Structure 1
Amino acid sequence: MSSIIVKNAAKYLPESIKNREDMRTHFAAVGAQVDSLFDIGGRENHPYISDYRQETSVTMATKACQAVLDKEGLTLADIHGLFFVSDAPEYTVPSNAITIVNALGEGNDGAVKFVMDLNQNCTGLLSSFDMVSAYMKTRNDLKRCLLVSVFNSTHVSHQDDPVTFGFLTDGSSALLLEKTEQDGKGIVDSDTLIGSDGWELMSFPAAGYSKVFKEETTLRERTLRWEVGPAGWIPDKYMEVLPQLLERNGLTEKDIDYFICSQFHEGLVKKTCELMESSMDKWLFVSRDYGYAGNASPGFAFESGLESGKFTEGKTIVWFSFGAGYTLSALLYKF
């Protein structure tokens, strides 16, 4: 049986980086303090789009895709499918994926057989990887695909809001997926947990698309609404999934070489690590360097693992993340 592996990964971050002092100054102007938020969440550097007229979700995703193609010495002619993942897309018509195909290939060269836009908020990359892997196995013509995820907080956040503009950043990550005839590689199992209570605490546009273009709709109602509440319960939800995922595959925490944890909140990562009776040196958290770009952030951590030499043949990792609504996704992956 074939397997779908991540052949390589690459990211794109905007050139404009705001550090903690920059953000402290920015929010002081509106009487907000952000240090405690940054301390517990694990933030230092914040990549942001500097000119929304020049840089979008599509341009960031295109640059991440080009970067991973360059790493492998490939062009769009070598790619059979392109899947775009975002909760801050530039378009709903046409698909963002088709605009990226156009940008990478200067038009349709006929190699790409399938495109699609996908979204599951912060768990979007993980669940999309799971779905795309399964789909690639059913189609003989999808041997090599790009899965690109992107978040654009500059466009969706109100700049006076420390919770959205201060806690979220911009960026894109691209995974090059490849079909191999080696059995037992790639995603070997997955699990999800869904709970719809509290879905209304986070929404974009806050007013909904049916109202976003009406004159009476304010700027606040057109941007991302995030009603922050206690998050200490999230590690307990992880514990409803992670131990069972390992157990049914005959594994324990000791058999896992690395965890690509949610990049959202370092405090919650440490708590989950404790509950798993694990060690933080196995848990890859990169948001202090790159900020939190939602669904793209697990890709940042995966690329970091590749570039550092941690992810070698035979290693076993677990990816997991938590998204609005709520959604929880976890993947068991073998190299």
Structure 2
Amino acid sequence: MKTHSLLRGLGFYVPERVVTNAELERLVDTSDEWITTRTGIKERRIAAPGQATSDLSLEASKKALAGAGMTPDDLTHLFICTLTPDAYCPPSACILEEKLGIRGRAAMDLNAACSGFVYGLDMARAVVCQNPEARVLVCACDVLTSRTNWADRRTCVLFGDGAGAVIVTSDREPKRPGDALIRDVRLSSDGSLGHLLTVKGGGSGTPMGLGDAVGDDFFIQMSGQEVFKHAVRNMVAICEDVLAANGLTGPDIDYFIPHQANWRIMEAVAKKLGLPVDKVCATVERYGNTSASSVGIGLAESFETGKIKVGDKVLLSAFGGGFTWAAALLEF
């Protein structure tokens, strides 16, 4: 008999510092009107100096554990989905393990860029399928402002920092109100398009020597129009794939949580799926594009505020550098 997986214990965290569009007007040649009409973003959260991915992850993970009625000792695996780890080594998941006060667990970082949360869910359900006793922490977190060029008006207006976390177990544990059955996950990628969205500088392909100046490639570089086109097309296709595989269409979905990159992308995907905007999660106005964490933040906040109810079918979808894209179907 197939082992299914449950998503339980949702949690999210965003830093305290708020940066508004008006503040960015003083940094670069932009305006609140320009940013809002093109992206839907009004403000974003920025990590404090010294606040790393593991720090944001710790706060979100504590909330997820509390929601699941668990302690860190209950965990068997820790996955951090990120493209901005604390360091190349040690992995941020190991740093988080230490901050949670536990040892001896399986801990690793995963990088699927902005698709990281949904990719992490699929890795977690694979673990619990193999080991039904496993309890897996999946935390997606990025401090993307650490790789943002604040002199680049095309990209600096887009990004914010945050973390979203869940606990994944097998369905051998009783389903409680607030738990969700992970009915299906679909993942895809196309490496030939990777050059359209990059953070290359300092990697082994573009290494830095002692005393080298930081170049533009150390920061996010993006071909916005091309990314927009591929994001809409591929998110729609993979959502239709996961829906068809489960005998559903867009109107059967009670709530849709897309990657919060740009409201125009989100709106276009929802329209093609036949979903009204009141069924679409929108945190992008307040948090900006928080990369891997955006779907996890949207999921946790939407449940916390009552937008997701027991019995709802919830569709997740993401798109990120690589290119990667993904969709998941949950049933609360």
- TM-score, normalised relative to structure 1: 0.89
| 1:18 counterpart residue number | 19
Q: Is contact 1:159–1:165 with CA below 8 Å preserved after alignment?
A: yes
In 2, distance between residues paired with 1:26 and 1:310?
36
| 2:232 counterpart residue number | 235
Listed as ranges, the gaps of 5+ residues in structure 2 are: none
In 2, distance between residues paired with 1:94 and 1:206?
19
In the TM superposition, residue 162 of structure 1 has moved relative to its aligned partner by 2.6
Q: Is contact 1:24–1:35 with CA below 8 Å preserved after alignment?
A: no
Q: Is contact 2:11–2:60 with CA below 8 Å preserved after alignment?
A: yes
| 1:61 counterpart residue number | 57
| 2:163 counterpart residue number | 172
Compare 75-84 and 217-226 and name the one that shifted more: 217-226
Instruction: Please state if 1:313 is matched with 2:310.
Output: yes
In 2, distance between residues paired with 1:6 and 1:163?
36
Q: Report the secondary structure of 1:221's partner residue.
A: helix
In the TM superposition, residue 178 of structure 1 has moved relative to its aligned partner by 2.7
Q: Which residue of 104, 124, 141 maps to 1:132?
A: 124
Instruction: Output aligned runs, 1:199-278, within 5 Å.
Output: 199-206=194-201, 208-209=203-204, 210-230=206-226, 231-278=228-275
| 1:75 counterpart residue number | 71
Q: Is contact 1:262–1:321 with CA below 8 Å preserved after alignment?
A: yes
In the TM superposition, residue 47 of structure 1 has moved relative to its aligned partner by 0.5
In the TM superposition, residue 295 of structure 1 has moved relative to its aligned partner by 0.6
What per-residue deviation string (whole Å, max 9, x for no partner) do you get for residues 57-109 of structure 1?
1111112212323444532112221111100111222221111111111x52x
| 2:46 counterpart residue number | 48
Question: Which letter does structure 1 place at the counterpart of 2:141?
Answer: V
In 2, distance between residues paired with 1:47 and 1:250?
39
In 2, distance between residues paired with 1:16 and 1:248?
42
In 2, distance between residues paired with 1:221 and 1:301?
30
In 2, distance between residues paired with 1:86 and 1:201?
19
Q: Is contact 2:194–2:322 with CA below 8 Å preserved after alignment?
A: yes
Q: Report the secondary structure of 1:67's partner residue.
A: helix
| 1:193 counterpart residue number | 188
| 1:102 counterpart residue number | 98
In the TM superposition, residue 32 of structure 1 has moved relative to its aligned partner by 4.3
Q: Is contact 1:206–1:224 with CA below 8 Å preserved after alignment?
A: no
Shift in alpha-carbon separation, 1:163–1:175, aligned structure 2, 3 A: farther
Shift in alpha-carbon separation, 1:168–1:77, aligned structure 2, 3 A: same
Shift in alpha-carbon separation, 1:4–1:247, aligned structure 2, 3 A: same
Q: Is contact 1:10–1:67 with CA below 8 Å preserved after alignment?
A: yes
In 1, distance between residues paired with 2:214 and 2:95?
30
Q: Report the secondary structure of 1:65's partner residue.
A: helix
In 1, distance between residues paired with 2:108 and 2:76?
12
In 2, distance between residues paired with 1:66 and 1:256?
30
| 1:150 counterpart residue number | 141
Q: Is contact 1:194–1:328 with CA below 8 Å preserved after alignment?
A: yes
In the TM superposition, residue 246 of structure 1 has moved relative to its aligned partner by 1.5
Question: Which letter does structure 2 place at the counterpart of 1:321?
Answer: A
In the TM superposition, residue 217 of structure 1 has moved relative to its aligned partner by 4.5
In the TM superposition, residue 224 of structure 1 has moved relative to its aligned partner by 2.5
In 1, distance between residues paired with 2:185 and 2:98?
33
Report the identity percentage: 21
In the TM superposition, residue 118 of structure 1 has moved relative to its aligned partner by 0.5
In the TM superposition, residue 235 of structure 1 has moved relative to its aligned partner by 2.0
What per-residue deviation string (whole Å, max 9, x for no partner) do you get for residues 234-262 of structure 1?
32323322223212211122221111112
What per-residue deviation string (whole Å, max 9, x for no partner) do you get for residues 7-56 of structure 1?
121111111101121122222xxx345642332211112101231xx211
Q: Is contact 2:17–2:47 with CA below 8 Å preserved after alignment?
A: yes
In 2, distance between residues paired with 1:4 and 1:38?
39
In 1, distance between residues paired with 2:56 and 2:162?
7
In the TM superposition, residue 214 of structure 1 has moved relative to its aligned partner by 4.9
Q: Is contact 1:212–1:221 with CA below 8 Å preserved after alignment?
A: no
Listed as ranges, the gaps of 5+ residues in structure 1 are: none
In the TM superposition, residue 285 of structure 1 has moved relative to its aligned partner by 1.5
In 1, distance between residues paired with 2:68 and 2:126?
23
Q: Is contact 2:270–2:276 with CA below 8 Å preserved after alignment?
A: yes
In 2, distance between residues paired with 1:14 and 1:213?
32
Q: Is contact 2:21–2:35 with CA below 8 Å preserved after alignment?
A: no
What per-residue deviation string (whole Å, max 9, x for no partner) do you get for residues 123-171 of structure 1?
01101111211112211441x2211111112211122123333211111
In 2, distance between residues paired with 1:226 and 1:234?
13
Q: Is contact 1:34–1:166 with CA below 8 Å preserved after alignment?
A: no
In 1, distance between residues paired with 2:301 and 2:223?
32
